[in-house]
Structure 1
């Protein structure tokens, strides 16, 4: 009797295995990062560690700091600067999440109430500012002007990306190029910086630092592309999110861009009504997903992600074929396979 293999489950398992492998490689370092996070987010103002701790302890994978740890080890780093810098990366990420949830009026993150849903917008924004400030303290404590330049530049680019996204919100004329510019800034910049600093503190040649930056940037693009697909996927339920949040907010992502460009005049009017005017009725979300499937907008977004995965993998070819390189390549599969 033949054996039927569930390809989607196989892809999920492969992705989970890749994440597990990376975690095992950096577990000792990551434990130190988690200890440092707890120490550095303390404040005599009780609400700050309370609110920050709620976000940081809410089940995130710590992917970005793990990239700093793995990149450092890939380059043969044997010191301990990567611990504090990985903490810095996590603080920058956490600060952007707090601000994003306020801007997006989100009430759930990873299946838990958002900080702004519990403590309100003002407290969330101010604690986000605290985490940004603490991250800069950690950068200056490290003492490297090059590291400071990389991480501070990433922070400003992230802010620019958020503003760009605000400008393109509800605009169905947004091009794929404009969309890519937004996600390169708001998501990929921190992935790139998290990886690049591993090479910098290891005092590796510029070619290797640039390769790590390229890997991180393309991984960040993949991560956001798949996030945009997941927003219209039943998989969201397992992630503790509701389906179609981007649609309800009128957020223009690549699946929307592709479906709009490929649609008829009548279908474009639907997108303008629902995304620009936010005039949404019962059944509109389901119709939007139907149109995305009709024009392969979701599957083509995943294919775009596969393209960037190849670029990221090529970037790592300059490094020795060791367990760290294999694990970082595996994370590319993890990010893409989240879509299944």
Structure 2
């Protein structure tokens, strides 16, 4: 991971500078709120994928014009940030990237509207590249993400949610932007179809591994690693893979517990600890980690189709970094 970040440092500095420039507005609350979440950092994994895919596609470290991939990477970060602002309002989240969630400071309406502003900025940047195909990739990703959000909302607190449907939800909500970020980077640099397909597959599988690792981390990690409070998924009554696994294996008493805390939202002191104990009895967190490893393996296999390049090994290590957050 360190080698990839070091390689992309100059490119990512250009991305960050562009993000700061384009989040400005004569309406003071817009840059204030945007900076609150964007300046908090995060890992910038998605724009990093855009830059890495462009570099890998050219099989060169220097003498490559990355003006378009830089704009596309900034677009990806704006899309991601906009979805986070919207998600936090929908979920009632209290923290994001280690800070108080924006909607608790400026209000839900302002957070949603600033998210809309960032979406608009993202599309302005895409148009500036003149890359119609890249624009189509990221536009479609935005549509898929929204559909995933709605699908999740329609199945919120539904204990009958199965693993297959859950994977559809996180494939749309999380993995699609990873895939589109990588694919847009390759397209933005003029990569061939084999390379473009390979980086898209890599991004999609990495995104699934990332989300499933995050699911496990919520029940066994630290707030510092998550950038939000440990147990937030439980408090927000989210059905993530560990809970889905535990519900499938539940005794009648355990199912009654899940009905109370997830379906009815009747959560009491000690319920999070009880949930963690139930998950442990059924090996549910370990099962989620195993699923994360399975998708991580598919991401690594997708790299076999990339040109021979030192970046291939770095992307391989990026997969391990995502998994090692919890394993």
2:8 equivalent to 1:21:
no
2:41 equivalent to 1:59:
yes
2:296 equivalent to 1:314:
no
Residue 162 (structure 1) shift: 0.9
Q: Could you tell me whether the CA contact under 8 Å between 2:178 and 2:204 is conserved in 1?
A: yes
Distance 1:42 1:120, change over 3 A: same
Q: Could you tell me whether the CA contact under 8 Å between 1:230 and 1:236 is conserved in 2?
A: no
Structure 1 residues 44-83: aligned runs within 5 Å: 44-76=26-58, 78-79=64-65, 80-83=67-70
Looking at structure 2, the residues matched to 198 and 239 of structure 1 have their Cα atoms a distance apart, in angstroms, of 27
Normalising by structure 1, report the TM-score: 0.92
Structure 1 residues 1-340: aligned runs within 5 Å: 18=1, 20-76=2-58, 78-79=64-65, 80-340=67-327
Q: Provide structure 1 residue ranges, at least 5 long, that are not aligned to the other structure.
A: 1-17
Looking at structure 2, the residues matched to 290 and 237 of structure 1 have their Cα atoms a distance apart, in angstroms, of 22
Residue 241 (structure 1) shift: 2.7
Correspondence for 1:14: none
Q: Is 284-293 or 150-159 further displaced after alignment?
A: 284-293
Q: Could you tell me whether the CA contact under 8 Å between 2:73 and 2:185 is conserved in 1?
A: no
Structure 1, residues 156-190: CA drift from partner, whole Å, max 9, x if none? 11111111111111000000001000000000010
Q: Could you tell me whether the CA contact under 8 Å between 1:75 and 1:202 is conserved in 2?
A: yes
Looking at structure 2, the residues matched to 259 and 104 of structure 1 have their Cα atoms a distance apart, in angstroms, of 22
Residue 317 (structure 1) shift: 0.4
Residue 199 (structure 1) shift: 1.8
Looking at structure 2, the residues matched to 239 and 245 of structure 1 have their Cα atoms a distance apart, in angstroms, of 10
SS in 2 for 1:75: helix
Q: Could you tell me whether the CA contact under 8 Å between 1:95 and 1:131 is conserved in 2?
A: yes
Distance 1:145 1:186, change over 3 A: same
SS in 2 for 1:170: coil
Residue 104 (structure 1) shift: 1.2
SS in 1 for 2:8: helix
Q: Could you tell me whether the CA contact under 8 Å between 2:82 and 2:118 is conserved in 1?
A: yes
Q: Could you tell me whether the CA contact under 8 Å between 1:232 and 1:289 is conserved in 2?
A: yes
Q: Provide structure 2 residue ranges, at least 5 long, that are not aligned to the other structure.
A: none
Looking at structure 2, the residues matched to 107 and 256 of structure 1 have their Cα atoms a distance apart, in angstroms, of 21
